Structure formats: C-alpha cells, structure tokens
Amino acid sequence: MTETEFLARWHAERESYAAWGLFVKNQIIADLHASVDRFDAHAFLKIPPKPRTKTDDSLIGKAFHRNKPYADPYVSIEDKVGVRFVVLLTSDIKKIQHVIEQSSRWACSLDRDYEAERETRPLEFTYQSTHYVLKSAESFRTESGVEIQKDTPCEVQIRTLLQHAHSELTHDNIYKREPGSEVAKTVERTVAKRMALIEAVDDYFISAVDELNSATKAEREALETLATVYSEHVGFAPQTDLSNRLVLQAFRQNLGEDLRQRLTDLLGKKPFIAERVKGRADAQYLYRQAWILLAYLMAETAPAATAERWPLTPDELRPVYTDLGRAFPAQV
C-alpha cells in the first residue's frame, strides 16, 4: 500500500472512525451512570473526554516512516481514533475498566496495564497509563446514520489527573524519541523520581478518601434515606446539593438507623407536610431539597435545639415551624 492509497482509504473511512469513537465515549459514560452509585460525569471525569482522529501526517509517519514492521499498516494501526478518560484516583480507573470489560458492544484488549506493570517491575517508575483497544462487536448504523463496520478499532486511554499532567510534560520528549536518541541520565532520574512521587500522592489521596467516606458514612446513608422518603411521599426526586451536607452534619447525632421509620411515622401522622413540600417545590429552593423532611422532623421533636443548631438562615426554618403550629424560638 502506498501513502496515497493509505490516505485515500483513510479519507473514505474517517467519518466512520470518528462516529465509532463518539459511540465508545458515550457508551462508557452511560455504563458508568448505570453501574456507579450517584455517578456525576462532570465530577468524576476531570477533563471532558473527546474522541480524536489522527491527522494525516501522524498516520503516514507512523505507518511508513518509523521503522515499524507492519504487514498491513492500515489495519495494524489501531489508534486511528482514540478517546482519553482522565479521573482523580487510580481507584477510579478500575471503575472504567469494569464497564469496558463488561460491555457486549465491543471486543476489548488491554494493550497496556499500568497496574500489572507495577506488579511485575515494582522497583521501576515508568510511563503510567492504561490502554485498551475496543473493536466493534458487529456492524451497525449510528443514530446519526453513519455505518460502523465490525472490528473497527478505537483506543481508550485511562489516566489519573497526575498521570496525565506528567505525560503531557514528558511523554513526547522521553518515551517517544526515535531509536538511538540519547536522553541524559539525570533527566531520566528526575522523571523517575517524579513518577514515584505521583504514586505516593495517589496512595495518600486514596487513603484520605477512604477515611472521609468512613467519617461521613452516617450522613451519606441518611441522605439516601431522605431522598428515598421524599420521592415516595412527595412524588418526585429531590435535589441533593451542598446544603444537604451542612444540615446533615449539624444533626448528625440525631440521624440514627431508625431515621426512615421516624420520617414515615411523621408523614403518616401529618400528611399535610408532603403536600406543602410538593406545592412549594416549584417556586422555592428549600422545598426541593431532601433536608426539608429532616427539618420538619427535628422541628417537631426538638424545636429549641433545632433552631439553635440550624446551620443555614433562620428564614428557612420559620415556615416549617408555622406549618407544624409551633412558635419559632425567640432566641434565634
């Protein structure tokens, strides 16, 4: 195959590769939504993933001018389109690996496994990234009408944010140099030290996240309970923004394992609470929050202490007390 023939085929198929890369990106994100609890793509993915096709010059250089023994360079080059997922921690990488390996939409091969390389060479600190090649399991047509042929490949890279920063700074200069080029040993040593530091920082971050998750377990479980009870009694899902954490932290000692039962009992005895919440939710922010049910519960059972410990503004509590037929404590 000549360079001209190679480019002619590439130009004819590039749209299909681009569509396959977009499909892979969207499918992985959809599967993460389905498998990861309370998945938020904007928070989980530190850089928005964007499928990219190789440029003509990049493909020609790789196919014909890098001394690679390709029998069929067009078929052999499997990163003509690629998409990169950048996450915060190496533990997040495993979540993406899981959805990739469980999907029936493609056949996947793990071409580079950073974790496996670290296990086999524990004393080396080298290029860090996880690479898959995903090949379409069947021919199909996308929603936009583009035909995807079976076995069309897409490279998927998964990195942490620290790994990505390191790679952007050094990869082209260190790891993709032409054979025979010299890199000063002092530079290699500096790079290795930096990568060792990245591993250490990642370990510290994972430990910190584990400790935070343990410390906030009660609040997270209570928020799930509040959201569930809200949905069941009000009729739609509440919002769960930062204000919920503040309220739950303020009343942490009052949550308990019987929170759901206490909420259910209150709403059963005073069904007007759910009706008031539902009627005000469209126009008022606080009635769209899961914590509003906890506010009613605490105002009913411990009115003075609730007003004293309330972490937001008093104006948010006054209507709750009015609904319950209680006077708002004068000291607040």
Domain boundaries, the chain: 3-213, 217-323
116, pLDDT greater than 70: no
What does the pLDDT read at residue 125? Answer: 42
* pLDDT per residue as tens digits for the range 141-166: 999 999 999 999 999 999 998 888 77
- In whole angstroms, what is the distance from residue 133 CA to residue 155 CA? 4
- Residues 107, 182: contact at Cβ < 8 Å? no
- Residues 12, 6: contact at Cβ < 8 Å? no
pLDDT-derived band at 305, boundaries 50, 70, 90? very high
- In whole angstroms, what is the distance from residue 272 CA to residue 240 CA? 22
What does the pLDDT read at residue 190? Answer: 67
Structure tokens at 77: 């080059």
199, pLDDT greater than 90: no
What does the pLDDT read at residue 170? Answer: 65
The pTM of this model reads 0.64
What does the pLDDT read at residue 189? Answer: 65
What does the pLDDT read at residue 191? Answer: 65
Q: What is the mean pLDDT of residues 26-43?
A: 92
Q: Higher-confidence residue: 332 or 258?
A: 258
pLDDT-derived band at 179, boundaries 50, 70, 90? very low
Domain 3-213 superfamily per CATH: Beta Polymerase, domain 2 (3.30.460.10)
Question: Among candidates 331, 321, 327, 329, which has minimal Cα distance to 297?
Answer: 321
Q: Higher-confidence residue: 331 or 87?
A: 87
pLDDT-derived band at 123, boundaries 50, 70, 90? very low
What does the pLDDT read at residue 206? Answer: 76
What does the pLDDT read at residue 6? Answer: 93
- Residues 126, 52: contact at Cβ < 8 Å? no
pLDDT-derived band at 124, boundaries 50, 70, 90? very low
- In whole angstroms, what is the distance from residue 41 CA to residue 47 CA? 10
Q: What is the mean pLDDT of residues 287-295?
A: 94
Burial of 74 (0-12, 13-18, 19+ CB in 10 A): middle
* Average pLDDT across the chain, whole number: 86
Backbone angles phi, psi at 75, to 5 degrees: -75, -35
pLDDT-derived band at 122, boundaries 50, 70, 90? very low
Q: Higher-confidence residue: 120 or 259?
A: 259
Q: Higher-confidence residue: 329 or 46?
A: 46
